[in-house]
Copies of this chain bind each other. A is one copy, B any other.
Amino acid sequence: MLTAAPEVVARPILVQKYGGSSLATPVRIKRAAERIASSRRAGYDVVAVVSAMGETTDRLLTLASRVARDPAARELDLLLSTGEGVSAPLVSMALNELGVPAVSLLGFQAGIQTDRRHARARIVGLTPGRIERELAGGRVVVVAGFQGIGEEMEVTTLGRGGSDTTAVAIAVALKAQACEILTDVRGIYTADPHLVPAARLIPRIAYAEILELASAGARVMHPRSVEIAEANGVQLHVRSSFVGAPGTMICSEEVIMEDRNRVRGIAHEEHVARLSVVGVPDRPGIAAAIFTPLAEADIAADVIVQTASHEGVTDMSFTVSRVDAPQAERILQGVAREIGARTVLAQNGLAKVSVVGSGIRGHAGVAATMFGTLSARGINIEMVSTSEIRITCIIHADRVNDAVIALHDAFKL
């Protein structure tokens, strides 16, 4: 027999983040609401963090480009933040329609405080009072992801994938039992399933491995959100919003000791260009002279290789995203004149392929297997870069599919 409880018993809190593709249409929004409702019936207090619907952000950027060539970041933030301002109340309405009390909150209402770095703000604090009051009132709280509020009530956005960060920050602040990242894929795979039909869903993966996969080009979670989750011990569950099956748990290495694996997955990234500053006088401060102006232009240099110095000169090569290559080349030509380097070379049509896994640590055999596999397929390695748990090779872009398939096979994923 059910009787009314004389006191409110705190229910476990579940934070669910819904990506834009999971909210692209009214039908999908209703489906997301049904999923939230069923989590609530399962006994959870739910905070749903939502991204903008489908292609909203692209549509808003197009509008902006039609009124200004180079819109101010502050104004773009205000504009883009309306995307989640639309999806959040729609999800809340769809929940109400199912008989589930719900309330939607924009970033500033949810207490998401950030610094003032527009377009890539960082969350500096979270005042969860309003969210907690709404949960205590029996409501699902739908929070607009990706946005926050800086000093002087300035609206900010958190950059690409920022809704993941919002979700993790809320999970930390509320001491949530779990944080689910609901998306249009079933989880994280051993390689891109579009390339490798045999790719397998990874049931458990360590934070560090996800960070390496992300930096190696895999379209997974926003690195910043993974860092916050790791620092606060929040387990993340990346899973499909469309099916009920479990996806990929992201947790600490200790938790997944038992299924430790040398290589967890293969990541790749096309559209890479290599730039080389040739004949650089080898003296202190040269690297800074090359990379500071690139950083100021917001160009990320990735794989960096400096050849051994020979007769007082050296070569410095690194990769950048293809779209950044022309601007990087212009900047470097100026730098080369200043520092007295011989010339600047640029090469397009390259790609990155990486193997990632905690088990790589201390296993020289992984690198050997990787190089041998590529060599056996006649794939030339242009550059190599490694971290403790990642090995990356730069190869020609037209061989990247072969390389990923061969490596996936070689490491028996």
Contact = CB atoms under 8 A, between A and B. Distances in A.
A64 B78 contact: no
B63 A26 contact: yes
Given A74-B103, A152-B130, A67 B94 contact: yes
A155 interface: yes
Nearest to A86: B82
A234 to B, nearest CB: 27
A207 interface: no
A154 B103 CA distance: 11
A94 to B, nearest CB: 4
Interface string A128-163: 001000000000000000000000111100000000
A108 interface: yes
A97 interface: yes
Contacts of A29: 67
Interface residues on A, range: 35 or more
B68 A96 contact: yes
A303 to B, nearest CB: 36
A88 interface: yes
A81 interface: yes
A226 to B, nearest CB: 30
A78 B88 contact: yes
Given A68-B94, A82-B85, 8 more contacts: A26-B67, A67-B93, A75-B96, A79-B93, A82-B82, A108-B108, A108-B153, A109-B155
6 contacts: A26-B67, A68-B94, A71-B89, A79-B89, A79-B93, A82-B82
Interface of A: 26, 29-30, 33, 60, 63-64, 66-69, 71-72, 74-76, 78-79, 81-82, 85-86, 88-90, 92-94, 96-97, 103-104, 106, 108-109, 130, 152-155
